[in-house]
Amino acid sequence: MSTLPRRRLLQAAALLPCLPRPAVAAAPNNDAVRRLLAERLRHEGVGLAVARFDGSTVDLAAAGPSRQGGDAIDPARHRFEIGSITKTMVGVLLADAVLRRELTLDQPVESLLPEGTRLRDSADAPIRLVDLATHRSGLPRLPGNLEPTAVPNPADPYAAYDDAALLAGVRQFKATRPRDAHWDYSNFGSGLLAWVIARQARLSLPELFRQRLAQPLGLTGMEWAAPGAAGKDSAQGHNPAGQPVPAWHFLALGGAGAVRATAAELARYGQAALGGFEHPLRGAFDLALQVHSDLGPAPNARMGLGWMLAPELKLATHDGGTYGFSSSLWLNLGERRGALVLANAMVMVNDLARHLLNPSQPLRDVAAEKQAQVAAQQQAALAVPAQALAPLAGVYALNPRFKLTVRAQGGELFAQATGQGEFALFAKSPRLFFARVTPLEVEFEGAEGPAPALVLRQGGQVLRFVKD
């Protein structure tokens, strides 16, 4: 297990984000929602808090305890780590700074860094603020000095990563391609973006968040999880096995995922995005929710400032995950309504949020997934000679924005999807492999020699990746 968060391959609705079509089914009532949550918790997780909302109303529901053996979750009281949903808030803060004329979207990041600190792409072009906000900067998922071997406290990996470490990470960065070439999800980029916004505003990150977002929206209970933060009424996080894990704290990279919120608070944030009440950030939300990049995590996805968008469906979304929490927020901008799910365990909740927004969207068959996962754990692996694994290594593309990198090392094969963690592959035959972290199969084409393509089978999907 990595010391830093690694999504399952199906987190955010499989390899290709599944953006729901407009609702056609009747919305379930709160009793039905609670039954749905209780059924999910029979198979995985500890507790869940959800909200469905429009511009003027919020329906809250919850199931399960705030901690193992603890009190029942109160969706208006217990706070969850919302992880990367924080990035949408950073996008709103950037938009607000632009409207204040403190920054411009095309402004080079290096102009906001200490003198002499450069941040350029492989063509020596300055990386801009909008590149950070849309994940097209080319910055890696994490800074080179925050990889697992560099983390002093694996249980709280971001807590010691301070300003000096962030600037060292920027200086160590060596671009391998031009900006705008690819969509590459980057916690490094989002954290750096929030840091430079705060530096320009002459505020600490917690104060930037409090003064410019939480207070204007009436969300003063939302918390920025800096070291020493009170953590009042925080739910306990749990790993996928349901064991309690420590809370996370952030210094310089807080923009990657530092916010804690209740379901009620996050619903009010969603209402603010929908224009459900008067507030001073209306213009900032409007700017953040515009398309700022045609490069996104899927062919039908675009990027706002921190938000993932499906413009033709008028949808905006973001998921979040830490080692103890998972979250998903969806907005239907056209119909001015939304849904969210917060979990106090590292489980998949994207399908729940999509279903609450649009009941015609299918739910995962969690029971079948668990059975398949147990079978995969028990399945014996075939030993394949290292010389037969080497030709399988390479980068395989589903599309220009989503790729699977396969590497062979020490007689083993590993795979890593764009923006996600690496996992091991085990052989059924010299060209057919399975994973144990989640039920899937990878079959390499060609009888021998370098594989020209691979086919990935997971959850009923069959996807072909062609070697770059």
Query: pLDDT digit string (tens) for 351-399?
Result: 999 999 999 999 988 888 877 777 777 788 999 999 999 999 999 998 7
Tell me what the mean pLDDT of segment 333-359 comes to.
97
State which amino acid sits at residue 95: A
* pTM summary value: 0.83
Domain 372-467 falls under CATH 2.40.128: yes
pLDDT at 231 over 90: no
d(CA 272, CA 178): 35
With H, G, I as helix, E, B as strand and everything else as coil, classify residue 280: coil
Neighbouring CB atoms inside 10 A of 198's CB total: 23
At residue 419, the pLDDT reads 67
At residue 149, the pLDDT reads 64
pLDDT at 9 over 50: no
Domain 30-364 falls under CATH 3.40.710.10: yes
Domain ranges of the chain: 30-364, 372-467
Mean pLDDT (the chain) is: 91
pLDDT at 15 over 70: no
State which amino acid sits at residue 61: A
Q: Report in angstroms the alpha-carbon separations of 168 from 138, 200, 212.
A: 17, 19, 28
Residue whose tokens read 């603010």: 272
More confident of the two residues 4 and 284: 284
pLDDT category, 162, cuts 50, 70, 90?
very high
At residue 438, the pLDDT reads 80
- Give the DSSP letter of residue 138: -
Task: Dump strand ranges (E) for 400-446.
Answer: 402-409, 412-417, 422-429, 432-434, 441-444
More confident of the two residues 85 and 18: 85
At residue 336, the pLDDT reads 97
pLDDT at 124 over 60: yes
pLDDT in tens, 237-285: 999 889 999 999 999 999 999 999 999 999 999 999 999 999 999 999 9
pLDDT category, 26, cuts 50, 70, 90?
low
CA proximity to 361, closest of 19, 96, 46, 108: 19
Cβ pair 105, 128 in contact under 8 A: yes
